[in-house]
Structure 1
């Protein structure tokens, strides 16, 4: 009852004040009829608070976000399933779901006729142009009487996550080079002596099919071993994203960092569709949550895109090189770079030498603040000296066109190398 009295609305408090005033005036003026009116006006909010405070309603909420992973600019639907497990009916329900401002305005619903076993389902749509992971909820509930005299507030604690990934664009197919680089379990082998079974098995890894377990080798070694030759081999590619604060310009969704993130996401999706196993490496090192795909699994960019959705700029002024010391991670590397300084040259040289083929998208970061692209020319020149195939990406450039330029550079290089090969053959 105390909670119900504290939940009196402005209208309810006005009724109480009017009732008390009417009773006092009736006593002072000797008007019994006015006393009855004052008692009626005073009793109405008090009785309403008593009835509403004693109502035993138990609301259950199930929130569903579909789909939980969307691309920036796409809509997701939030469905709220409500039910009343209490034994007595309640008044009018006023629902308000708390959502971040980037997803839109807070949805509000008014539901009536809430009795025992009552169930209702409502929904609304959310949309974000900004990448990130957002919490939808919690939902607050206010129970009101039909007269609007008393409101009781309740709040659910549960929330649901919605991940908004960066925008991607479809990229054309280009000669990538190094497509046969990388490591896998089904690489051709020649056996001069001994049994092939002894060299074509490896230790069991989580996710391997148990039907591929090689029991004789497992019994001999003492741990599960699987046949190596039956495992599929995937080409590997590394997407490197320079997310240092000092390497980018601009703020918000119009910054050079957001363009770099979108470019890295587009490249990762493109490479995955071409059969590459893709990992993400940032200026802070390898992202373990989006590492190489499991053997036998279909290529999927969902973990990598989720990592890009929550990527933040790092204050580190230099590029991390710990991941370059790992063996067996050759193949293709595609770097999306911001402003490159001279002290980054050794890292870029090591990065290119550790991979089978190296491509770079160098952002003209000064163009994001209206300055000239003077700082980009040294960056592209430095990358070209290190053996990179590089092109420049500005704020007004189309990514697919710049990606096509990388392929055109590879074809021209192949045409220049062809006559040399023919000359060498004739010389023999």
Structure 2
């Protein structure tokens, strides 16, 4: 707990006046000036003791709603203060220290608190609203309370409580559904999983094996094959989509490697990544978010798993660039496999990079390549990728790539 004690301008003037009275009284031999100086000095000392006596011991608890806000959205902060000192505390002004990435009106009037010997309430409830401007981990506090004596001579500023950790998830924007692609309508490559006793009406028959229930016998198939056949139900699983956030530091400015919010282009990429996750999950896809080398950035998000979606946003809150460059590792990641929509978000993109990635597009039913800083003709060299330049408007880039793909398909 940090304390700062100092005299106000009025208090400094009173102290100078007292010392001046002593000096003049000694020169002129005026006893009255000595008494006046003693009075002023006593007033200064008494005022200092008044603000110092109320010790700044308190428990501070902050409640943030929502607890994990999205960048750019309003949040409400409630500060509960419980005074620990038995002496009364004078009222004053309070200020909750906010980081640069969070703006708000975190100040107000702090109420006077009664003595601990009384039965009066010794708590204070403070509230304010704030807006986190950047994703990442931020710290609220400490709470600073400034008290002044009734004469305005002495002032004390006390820092109370500990810091409160605030995790801010990336901002998201509304994205349109990809043209002709909806996971709920089966518009992509499915990933079926055969399991006994589960699924919908997609029923096939297999040969009976010891341990199979007689209730599962498929009589029509048994009669057709002249042997016992049992029902095997094929479960439909949500179609898959993959989002690749290229974190290679060579693709972005050096700030993207240092901390969140330092590179505007990288922040736009993260916003697009988070927004694409929300869009594809809402459209019924099971979404995987990976780095360019296939490293998962969060757990797989199934279409009906709201908790996994929240965890994904939490993971994207702190993602930064990394030192190496692995964009072309995508060729090996998707070698021998296929997926539904494949969204690749990168920074700098050279023509050779685009030409090398052209083969990856054939492993997706809807490949999208968005670059924040493409070289001239780089996007045109990407083959069958739906491409767009990623500027400040993440939704605009998404729509641009979608329109290109739709027109290409129509042609």
TM-score (normalizing by structure 2): 0.73
State the alpha-carbon separation in 1 of the partners of residues 86 and 307 from structure 2.
52
Contiguous gaps of at least 5 residues in structure 1: 199-227, 367-371, 414-428
Q: What's 2:175 paired with?
A: 170
State the alpha-carbon separation in 1 of the partners of residues 74 and 288 from structure 2.
28
CA drift of 1:121 comes to 2.0
Deviations 1:119-152 (A, max 9, x none): 3322222224433332222222333322333333
Q: 1:136 aligns with which of 134, 140, 144?
A: 140
CA 1:153/1:255 → structure 2, altered by over 3 Å: closer, same or farther?
A: closer
State the alpha-carbon separation in 2 of the partners of residues 344 and 408 from structure 1.
20
Higher helix share: 1
CA drift of 1:404 comes to 3.5
Q: 1:181 aligns with which of 174, 188, 191?
A: 191
User: Conserved in 1, the CA contact under 8 Å of 2:71 and 2:168?
Assistant: no
Where do 1:64-79 residues align within 5 Å? 64-79=63-78
> Partner of 1:25: helix, strand, or coil?
helix
Q: What's 1:89 paired with?
A: 88
> Partner of 1:96: helix, strand, or coil?
strand
CA 1:56/1:266 → structure 2, altered by over 3 Å: closer, same or farther?
A: closer
CA drift of 1:295 comes to 10
Q: What's 2:53 paired with?
A: 54
Q: What's 1:305 paired with?
A: 313
Deviations 1:134-182 (A, max 9, x none): 2222222333322333333332222230404123223135333425236
Q: What's 2:101 paired with?
A: 102
State the alpha-carbon separation in 1 of the partners of residues 239 and 351 from structure 2.
31
Q: 2:352 aligns with which of 338, 342, 358?
A: 342
Where do 1:316-331 residues align within 5 Å? 316-319=324-327, 321=329, 324=333, 330-331=339-340
Structure 1 runs (4+) deviating above 6 angstroms are 228-232, 249-254, 325-329
User: Conserved in 1, the CA contact under 8 Å of 2:300 and 2:308?
Assistant: no
State the alpha-carbon separation in 2 of the partners of residues 106 and 311 from structure 1.
29
Q: What's 1:223 paired with?
A: none
CA 1:360/1:305 → structure 2, altered by over 3 Å: closer, same or farther?
A: same
User: Conserved in 1, the CA contact under 8 Å of 2:47 and 2:149?
Assistant: yes
Matched, 1:192 2:207: yes
Q: 1:271 aligns with which of 248, 273, 280?
A: 280
Q: What's 1:282 paired with?
A: 291
CA drift of 1:76 comes to 1.5
State the alpha-carbon separation in 1 of the partners of residues 190 and 108 from structure 2.
58
Q: 1:357 aligns with which of 351, 365, 369?
A: 365
CA drift of 1:291 comes to 0.9
State the alpha-carbon separation in 2 of the partners of residues 171 and 24 from structure 1.
81
> Partner of 2:152: helix, strand, or coil?
coil
CA drift of 1:57 comes to 5.3
RMSD, aligned CA:
3.9
State the alpha-carbon separation in 2 of the partners of residues 172 and 296 from structure 1.
17
User: Conserved in 2, the CA contact under 8 Å of 1:71 and 1:166?
Assistant: yes
Q: 1:152 aligns with which of 143, 146, 156?
A: 156
Q: What's 2:378 paired with?
A: 375
CA drift of 1:263 comes to 2.3
CA drift of 1:230 comes to 12
Contiguous gaps of at least 5 residues in structure 2: 116-120, 182-186, 214-231, 256-260
State the alpha-carbon separation in 2 of the partners of residues 77 and 240 from structure 1.
34
Q: What's 1:401 paired with?
A: 399
- More off after superposition, 314-323 vs 152-161: 314-323
User: Conserved in 2, the CA contact under 8 Å of 1:67 and 1:76?
Assistant: yes
State the alpha-carbon separation in 2 of the partners of residues 100 and 184 from structure 1.
52
Q: What's 2:112 paired with?
A: 113
Aligned length: 366
State the alpha-carbon separation in 2 of the partners of residues 87 and 166 from structure 1.
46
